[in-house]
Amino acid sequence: MFKRLFWIGIGFAAGVIAVSKANAYVKANTPDAMRQFVLGPDQDHVTMRTLEGLVNEFNATRRAREAELSRTYTERTNR
């Protein structure tokens, strides 16, 4: 169990480092107009916007699934 957590942590850290290096490379080597097209006008908060979008999508999916399960349970109990 500890080995799995260790390797997951290593993989997560490597992913964060790779993404931050790629983001820095893109910022340093692309023209401003291209960066704005790819990253949007708020280039300093791309990571937070991405995380916010992922959390919002997760919550919407979770609420939809909970509603589906509630309907299914309610239909079973009404029989």
| Cα torsion through 47, 19, 61, 6, rounded to 10 | -120
In one-letter notation, the amino acid at residue 77 is T
Domain layout of the chain by residue ranges? 1-41, 42-79
Q: Which amino acid is at 15?
A: G
Contacts of 42 (CB under 8 A, 6+ apart): 49
pLDDT number for residue 50: 83
Prediction pTM value: 0.54
Q: Quote the pLDDT of residue 7.
A: 94
User: pLDDT tens, 4-63?
Assistant: 999 999 998 998 889 888 888 888 888 888 878 877 777 777 778 888 999 999 999 999
